[in-house]
C-alpha cells in the first residue's frame, strides 16, 4: 500500500519502540517522515537506516516539552516541505506510584511529559495543517486511560486526559479538514516495557491477560496508527481505538463456569 505517498508526517518519540515502528510503517507506505526524539544519536541512526533503503526519513533531536524545540521542528518541516499532513504524538513516559505517595512534582512531570507535550505539538500541527486543507493527528493514549490501575494513578490520569483532549480538539478543528483520534495500546513488547518486567512470571501474566494469549508487537500498534492517519479512516474523528488483544473486553471479575 502507498496510502501516504508524498505526504509529510511527524512522529514525536520516533526514536524507538512504537514510535520507531510507526516511522517505519509510514515510510513503507510512501510518506516523508520526520522523527523527533530527545535521543539524538538514536534517531539519527534510525533515519540513516531508512535513507539507506531509499526512503525519506529525517531526524530531529528535540525535547517535546520545550516550546523552542517544537518551534524549531515545525519551522524546519514547513521550510523543507511546505506542509504537514500527519502528526503522531507518541512521545511520553510513565511512572509508578500511589496517589498518596507520589510527590506533586511527579504529577507535574507526568503531565508535562504526556499531556502538555501532546497539546503543544498538536497546536503547532493544527496551525500548519490548516494552511493546506487539513490533515490527521493521532494521539498516544493507553488502555490505562480507560481503566484504573492501582499504583499508576498519575500515568492513568494523564492518559485519560489525552482521550478527552482528542475529543475536544476533533470538534474544534473538524471544519478545517483535520481529524484527531487516539490510539490506546495494551501490553506491547517494546524494549521499555520488556525491560520493566522483572521475570518470565510477569511476562506470562501479561500474555494471559489478553484474549489472544500474547502481548502485542510495536508493529501491530503502528498498523492501527497508520489506519487512523490514512484516508481509510476519513470519517473517523474524535475516537479512541483500543489495541489490546481483548484485555479490556472483559470485566475482570471472578467467573463461575456455567453448567455444560
pLDDT in tens, 58-95: 999 999 999 999 999 999 999 999 999 999 999 998 88
Is 155 a catalytic site residue? yes
Residue 80, domain member (yes or no): yes
Average pLDDT of the chain is 94
For 10-33, what is each residue's pLDDT tens digit?
999 999 999 999 999 999 999 999
Q: Is the pLDDT of residue 199 over 80?
A: no
260 inside domain: no
Residue 249 within a domain: no
Q: Which member of 34, 98, 155, 206 is catalytic? A: 155
For the chain, the domain total comes to 1
Backbone angles phi, psi at 36, to 5 degrees: -105, 130
Q: How many CA atoms lie within 13 A of 209 on its CB side?
A: 16
- Asked whether residue 122 is assigned to any structural domain, the reply reads yes
Q: Is residue 19 part of a domain?
A: yes
User: Does residue 254 belong to any structural domain of this protein?
Assistant: no
Cα atoms in the 13 Å half-sphere on the side-chain side of 150: 0
Residue 2 lies in a domain: no
Residue range 203-231, pLDDT digits in tens:
888 898 999 999 999 999 999 999 999 99
Residue 163 clears pLDDT 90, i.e. is over it? yes
Say which CATH number the domain at 200 has. 3.40.50.720
pTM above 0.85, yes or no: yes
CA distance 107 to 95: 9
Which domain covers residue 29, as residue numbers? 8-244
Amino acid at each position: 500500500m502507498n496510502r501516504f505517498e508524498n505526504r509529510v508526517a511527524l512522529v514525536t518519540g520516533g526514536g524507538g519502540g512504537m514510535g520507531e515502528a510507526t516511522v517505519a510503517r509510514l515510510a513503507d507506505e510512501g510518506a516523508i517522515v520526520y522523527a523527533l526524539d530527545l535521543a539524538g544519536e538514536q534517531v539519527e541512526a534510525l533515519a540513516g537506516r531508512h535513507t539507506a533503503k531509499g526512503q525519506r526519513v529525517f531526524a530531529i533531536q528535540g525535547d517535546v516539552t520545550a516550546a523552542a524545540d517544537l518551534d524549531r521542528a515545525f519551522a524546519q518541516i514547513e521550510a523543507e516541505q511546505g506542509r504537514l499532513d500527519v502528526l503522531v504524538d507518541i512521545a511520553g513516559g510513565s511512572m509508578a506510584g500511589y496517589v498518596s505517595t507520589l510527590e506533586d512534582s511527579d504529577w507535574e512531570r507526568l503531565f508535562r511529559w504526556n499531556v502538555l507535550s501532546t497539546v503543544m505539538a498538536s497546536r503547532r500541527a493544527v496551525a500548519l495543517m490548516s494552511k493546506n486543507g487539513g490533515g490527521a493527528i493521532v494521539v498516544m493514549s493507553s488502555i490505562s486511560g480507560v481503566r484504573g490501575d492501582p499504583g499508576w494513578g498519575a500515568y492513568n490520569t494523564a492518559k485519560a486526559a489525552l482521550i478527552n483532549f482528542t475529543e475536544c480538539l476533533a470538534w474544534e478543528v473538524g471544519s478545517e479538514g483535520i481529524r484527531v483520534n487516539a490510539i490506546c495500546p495494551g501490553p506491547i513488547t517494546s524494549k521499555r516495557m520488556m525491560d520493566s518486567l522483572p521475570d518470565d512470571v510477569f511476562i506470562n501474566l501479561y500474555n494471559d491477560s489478553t484474549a489472544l494469549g500474547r502481548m502485542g508487537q510495536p508493529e501491530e500498534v503502528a498498523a492501527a496508527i497508520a489506519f487512523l492517519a490514512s484516508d481509510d479512516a476519513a470519517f473517523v474523528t474524535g475516537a479512541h481505538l483500543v489495541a489490546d488483544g481483548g484485555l479490556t473486553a472483559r470485566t475482570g471479575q471472578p467467573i463461575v463456569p456455567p453448567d455444560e
